[in-house]
């Protein structure tokens, strides 16, 4: 599957594609289903009205008791579901995103700006159906709330983009809303929810500025960790950056996408929500991963290998993106990480990553110079990869002491 949208002959823009596809295919089909559903609901409502006008068992309950104390059919357990809206067949809570790559409200904004109000009227019912699916996806939340909640496009957008972060807050809000007996109590419940998803309510101007800057950097450069973000001039510690993203990053479309092996905040990598895979600063990703648990190997065939631990569900996509960015084919997704193999691929990765490698800089420089057949670097690398017993033998064969080797290593790194 491609991580990008290929050009299509005859389609000049997204708007052009939308206008060409929707009227004849998707929109017409969904509107037809909407009309069929409306006819069915109208028929069901007429039948319920007819039954309520009386019959041979007018005074009996649905449970089979001819008692005046029996409850009405609509008050029986389970029958409330029949009163709730149900989504169209095939409709999902991410229907617009899956089909168009953007939310329904965003499409409406584009259509309104282009003066296509007739298409907006067609899309609005589909947005409602999608939101019914969204409400149904939360346990114990009735889709009938679609007609009660004072939610704006922003509320639904935040709920759709952050189902994990807002799961508990949203369900708490629904419980408070259902338990409220006055309009004032409902306003208070909505106020608490609204404050939860508001950027300004919990953040200072400085914190808001940090997260906006993180958003811009990630959008421009692709996945970065806190240390790499800080290197772009953010006036905040790596811990503060990580904590801000963890608590409020979802408000800016920022989420954690994977981590290295090291057990500290700098090992976590972040990115903004995107439909394509973008890595403009490959060096920052390679350098950050190498610093946080990376290792060096030499394959049985003598090829250098960089092992970069990266626990991410989309590791394969990052491998493909790195290959594209560095113009190589040596990056592979292997196990729980990325493997860069071969002299050409490793050399390109180190050339890009060295400015971002801090804690493991000596190891990276030695490997890079070894690829260029630097004699002393090759000697240091061979010692580094040898077993303890073999290291002793190597020092004897080279007539070097431990101190001599450290001096040699320092000369290679700083030379």
Confidence grade of residue 341 (pLDDT, cut at 50, 70, 90): very high
Does residue 176 have a pLDDT over 70?
yes
pLDDT of 406 reads 92
> In the prediction, which pLDDT does 33 show?
53
- pLDDT at residue 2, as a whole number: 46
For the question of whether the overall pTM of this predicted structure is more than 0.75, the answer is no
pLDDT band for 161, please (50, 70, 90 cuts).
confident
Mean pLDDT for 328-343 is: 88
pLDDT at 194 (0 to 100): 85
User: Under CATH, which number does the domain 205-272 receive?
Assistant: 1.10.10.10
Contact present, 135 and 142 (Cβ < 8 Å): yes
**pLDDT higher than 70, residue 5:** no
Q: Are 284 and 228 in contact (CB under 8 A)?
A: yes
pLDDT of the residue at 84: 58
Q: What is the pLDDT of residues 57-108, one digit of tens each?
A: 444 443 444 444 444 444 444 334 445 566 566 788 888 887 877 888 888 8
| Segment 364-391 mean pLDDT | 92
- Residue with the bigger pLDDT between 362 and 5: it is 362
Q: What per-residue string of b and e applies to 291-321 under the rule 16 or more CB within 10 Å gives b?
A: bbbbebeeeeeeebbbbbbbbbebbebbbbb
> Where are the chain's structural domains?
14-35+84-196, 205-272
Reported as a single tens digit per residue, the pLDDT across 100-140 is 778 888 888 888 888 888 888 888 888 998 999 999 888 88
pLDDT at 214 over 50: yes
Range 37-55 average pLDDT: 56
> What tokens were used for 10?
């005859």
Q: For residues 271-290, give the mean pLDDT.
A: 80
SS (H, E, C) the chain: CCCCCCCCCCCCCHHHHHHHHCCCCHHHHHHHHHHHHHHHHHHHHHHHHHHHCCCCCCCCCCCCCCCCCCCCHHHCCCHHHHHCCCCCCCCCCCHHHHHHCCCHHHHHHHHHHCCCHHHHHHHHHHHHHHHHHHHHCCCCCCHHHHHCCCCCHHHHHHHHHCCCCCHHHHHHHHHHHHHCCCHHHHHHHHHHHHHHCCHHHHCCHHHHHHHHHHHHHHHHHECEEHHHHHHCCCCCCHHHHHHHHHHHHHHHCEEEEEECCCCCHHHEEEEECCCCCCECCHHHHHHHHHHCCCEEEECCCCCEEEEEECECCCHHHHHHHHHHHHCCCCEEEECCEEEEECHHHHHHHHHHHHHHCCCCHHHHHHHHHHHCCCHHHHHHHHHHHCCHHHHHHHHHHHCCCHHHHHHHHHHHHHC
pLDDT at 4: 46
Q: What is the pLDDT of residue 274?
A: 65
Predicted local confidence at residue 36, as pLDDT: 57
Instruction: Report the candidate in 149, 184, 222, 180 with the shortest Cα–Cα distance to residue 3.
Output: 222
The tens digit of pLDDT for each residue in 16-41 reads 554 444 444 444 555 555 555 555 55
CA separation, residue 114 to residues 15, 29, 99, 124 (Å): 9, 23, 20, 16
Has residue 15 got a pLDDT over 50? no
Identify the pLDDT of residue 89: 64
Instruction: Please check the confidence at residue 195 and state whether its pLDDT lies above 70.
Output: yes
Is pLDDT of 411 > 90? Answer: yes
Mean pLDDT (the chain) is: 79
> For residues 312 and 339, is the Cβ–Cβ distance under 8 A?
no
Pairing verdict, β 224-225 and 337-341: unpaired
Q: Lowest-confidence range among 164-168, 298-302, 346-350?
A: 164-168
**pLDDT for the residue numbered 86:** 60
**The pLDDT of residue 46:** 62
Report pLDDT for 312: 78
pLDDT, greater one: 284 or 335: 284
Give the pLDDT score at 248.
Answer: 83
């Amino acid at each position: 599957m491609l991580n990008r949208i290929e050009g299509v002959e005859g389609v000049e823009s997204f708007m052009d594609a939308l206008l060409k596809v929707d009227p004849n295919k998707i929109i017409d089909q969904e509107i037809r289903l909407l009309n069929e559903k409306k006819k069915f609901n109208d028929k069901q409502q007429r039948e319920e009205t007819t039954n309520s006008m009386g019959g041979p068992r007018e005074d009996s309950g649905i449970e089979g008791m001819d008692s005046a104390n029996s409850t009405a059919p609509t008050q029986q357990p389970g029958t409330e579901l029949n009163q709730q809206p149900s989504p169209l067949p095939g409709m999902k809570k991410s229907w617009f995103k899956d089909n168009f790559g953007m939310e329904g409200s965003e499409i409406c904004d584009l259509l309104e700006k282009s003066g296509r109000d007739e298409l907006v009227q067609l899309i609005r019912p589909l947005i409602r159906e999608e939101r019914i699916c969204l409400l149904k996806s939360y346990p114990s939340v009735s889709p009938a709330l679609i007609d009660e909640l004072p939610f704006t496009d922003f509320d639904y957008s935040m709920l759709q983009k952050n189902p994990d972060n807002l799961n508990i807050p949203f369900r708490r809000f629904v419980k408070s809303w259902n338990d409220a007996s006055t309009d004032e109590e409902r306003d208070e419940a909505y106020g608490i929810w609204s404050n939860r998803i508001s950027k300004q309510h919990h953040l200072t101007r400085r914190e808001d500025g940090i997260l906006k800057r993180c958003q811009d950097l990630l959008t421009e450069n692709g996945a970065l960790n806190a240390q790499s973000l800080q290197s772009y001039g953010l006036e905040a510690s790596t811990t503060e950056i990580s904590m801000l993203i963890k608590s409020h990053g979802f408000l800016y479309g920022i989420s954690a996408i994977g981590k290295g092996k090291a057990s500290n905040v700098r090992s976590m990598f972040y990115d903004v929500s995107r439909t394509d895979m973008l890595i403009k600063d490959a060096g920052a990703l390679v350098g950050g991963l190498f610093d946080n648990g990376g290792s060096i190997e030499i394959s049985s065939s003598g090829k250098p290998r960089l092992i970069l631990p990266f626990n991410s569900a989309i590791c394969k996509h990052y491998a493909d993106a790195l290959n594209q960015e560095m113009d190589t084919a040596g990056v592979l997704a292997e196990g729980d990480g990325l493997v860069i193999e071969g002299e050409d691929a490793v050399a390109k990765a180190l050339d890009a990553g060295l400015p971002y490698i801090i804690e493991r800089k000596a190891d990276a420089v030695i490997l890079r110079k070894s690829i260029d057949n630097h004699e002393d670097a090759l000697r240091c690398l061979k010692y580094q990869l040898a077993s303890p017993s073999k290291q002793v033998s190597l020092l004897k064969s080279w007539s070097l002491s431990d101190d001599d080797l450290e001096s040699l290593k320092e000369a290679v790194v700083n030379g």
